[in-house]
Amino acid sequence: MISIINIGMNHESAPVEFRECLAKDPENVSYALDFIRDSDHLREGFFLSTCNRVEVFCICDDPESARQVLVDMLSRLSNIPEENLIPNLYFFQGIEAVKHIFRVAASLDSMIVGEPQILGQIKDAYRQTVSESHTSGVVLNRLMHRAFHVAKRVKTETGISQAAVSISYAAVELAKKIFYDLKDKKILLIGAGEMAELAATHLISNGITSLTVANRSFERALNVAEKFNGKAVLWEEIETSLLEGDIVITSTASTEYIVVYDTLKGLLKKRRNRPIFFIDIAVPRDVDPKVNDLGNVYLYDIDDLKDIVEENSEQRRQEAVKAERIIAEEVIRFGNWLQTLEIVPTIAALKEKAESIRKTEIQKSLSSLGDLIPSQIEAIEILTLSLTDKILNDPVLVLKQKAGSTSKDNYLDITRELFNLDQEVDN
């Protein structure tokens, strides 16, 4: 009997020191796929390795044996003894394994629910499985394509990926609402803290190519600027840089405002009232709150962003309920398809035997009917095909209806016995 199993670890089940032993090493991926292909215990297999998770999905006949060989494989890859590795692994079998891969693909099992990167990583891993290792077959191909379908449904039918749930990402989403298109906008970082860098990373990924960094330590400013192919300026050049910047991210440790009302008011005339967007993630704040009263100035501090993140997190939780319902639907559909696989060989054998009998009897009849014209022979072919289809229709239909029932095996045994499908033909 065919079984689907999954064994893996993620950010919840295993600490980073375990995950990093397996993550993103091309040699590990090649080794795992070769192992799956060469193992006598595994029919098909798929291996996914990212910074936050390692997943192995396999099609097998004996789940317990397959589980043991996969644990052994992961132990070898990570150089972690099995007794230390096993408590950090999770194991799913059958329909629960199907549900798990659907949830992973739809980003419901991610550190940040709704993040889009995981689906691309799964597709890349599956592409390697198909094109390089050839460890996929009928069941795994169907499983992965349904996982992609589920992810698409979740994305289009819910709003789970539309709401920002990190401070830096929320800042970028706000910037997109204000400017719509970010590609030609210029970023100014005042201070070079970790969150400012992260926000800059998100902005760069949205097409921004111009970045300027100002920091009290010019060396630190230079290091960060080089990281983003930007330029560093002296602390004293902040005012001049404000003339050019469209998006300003501040994250200093200053106890006084870096950007004050009067200075910015004077700069706006020189900027010809072009909009300027401030993301103040410093505590204490770097930007005088009064600048929000100026036209074409948009200021958000860390509390504003936290409120947005919390609101969006709640929105994602609500959308996740819809996503889980979609997954439940698709799991049932896949389970129904999986159950039909067990009756396919019997149905195929039944049709094959009927076709063999039909052809044999036609040949006997044609030899006794004398010379027939092609249209007459074609009419006999159509008639006999129609008869066999109609005769087989009811037993085939019954077998399909019983595919998911507890009596399925009885019906299969009776069918094979009634039609003598297991008879060995002596030549």
pLDDT at 293: 94
My answer on whether 176 and 148 are in the same domain is: no
126 lies in the same domain as 172? no
**Is the pLDDT assigned to residue 72 strictly greater than 90?**
yes
Length of the chain: 427
Q: How far apart are CA 394 and CA 92, in angstroms?
A: 37
One domain for residues 80 and 224? no
Q: What CATH number is associated with residue 282?
A: 3.40.50.720
Given pLDDT bands bounded at 50, 70 and 90, which one contains residue 21? confident
CA angle 120, 121, 125 (to 5 degrees): 115
Is 41 in the same domain as 84? yes
Same structural domain, 246 and 178: yes
CATH of residue 64? 3.30.460.30
Same domain as 353, residue 295: no
Residue range 84-109: average pLDDT? 95
Domain identity same for 109 and 206: no
Q: Residues near 239 by Cβ (< 8 Å), separated by ≥ 6?
A: 263, 267
For the question of residue 51 being annotated catalytic, the response is yes
User: Is 187 in contact with 211 (CB distance < 8 Å)?
Assistant: yes
Of the candidates 21, 51, 58, 60, the residue annotated as catalytic is 51
CA angle 337, 349, 43 (to 5 degrees): 50
Name the domain boundary from 157, 184, 214: 157
Average pLDDT value for residue range 305-311: 74
Same domain, yes or no: 198 and 297: yes
Range with the poorest average pLDDT among 4-13, 152-161, 174-183, 326-335: 174-183
Within-domain flag for 52: yes
Residue 425 lies in a domain: no
Query: Does residue 320 lie in a domain region?
Result: no
Sequential DSSP letters for 158-184? S-TTSS--SHHHHHHHHHHHHHS--TT
231/357 same-domain check: no
Report pLDDT digits (tens) over 369-409.
888 888 988 999 999 999 999 999 998 888 888 776 778 77
* Chain centroid to CA 74: 22
Q: Does residue 363 form part of some domain?
A: yes
Do residue 414 and residue 352 come from a single domain? Answer: yes
> Do residue 179 and residue 292 come from a single domain?
yes
- Residue 62 pLDDT greater than 80, yes or no: yes
Last residue of a domain, one of 126, 157, 188: 157
pLDDT digits (tens, 9 = 90+) for 122-176: 999 999 898 888 899 989 999 999 999 999 999 899 887 765 556 667 777 778 8
Residue 80 within a domain: yes
- Would you state the pLDDT for residue 162? 65
31 and 143 in one domain? yes
% of the chain surpassing 70 pLDDT:
96
Q: Give domain status of residue 322, yes or no.
A: no
- Point out the least confidently predicted range of 41-45, 301-305, 391-395: 301-305
Residue 22: DSSP 8-state: T
> How far, in whole angstroms, is CA 412 from its chain's centroid?
38
Q: Is residue 270 part of a domain?
A: yes
Higher pLDDT: 38 or 21? It is: 38
The arithmetic mean of pLDDT across residues 29-43, rounded, is 91
The domain containing residue 267 runs over which residues?
A: 167-309
Would you place residue 426 in the very low, low, confident or very high pLDDT band (cuts 50, 70, 90)? Answer: very low
Is the CB of residue 118 less than 8 Å from the CB of residue 32? no
Q: Quick one: pLDDT band at residue 217, thresholds 50, 70, 90?
A: very high
Whether 334 is in a domain gets the answer no
How many Cα atoms sit within 13 Å of 296 on the Cβ side?
A: 13
- Domain C-terminal end among 100, 134, 157: 157
% the chain with pLDDT above 90:
48
Q: Which residue has the higher pLDDT, 111 or 191?
A: 191
- The tally of domains found in the chain comes to 3
Question: Over the stretch 237-255, which tens digit does the pLDDT of each residue have?
Answer: 999 999 999 999 998 888 8
- Whether 425 has a pLDDT exceeding 60, the answer reads no
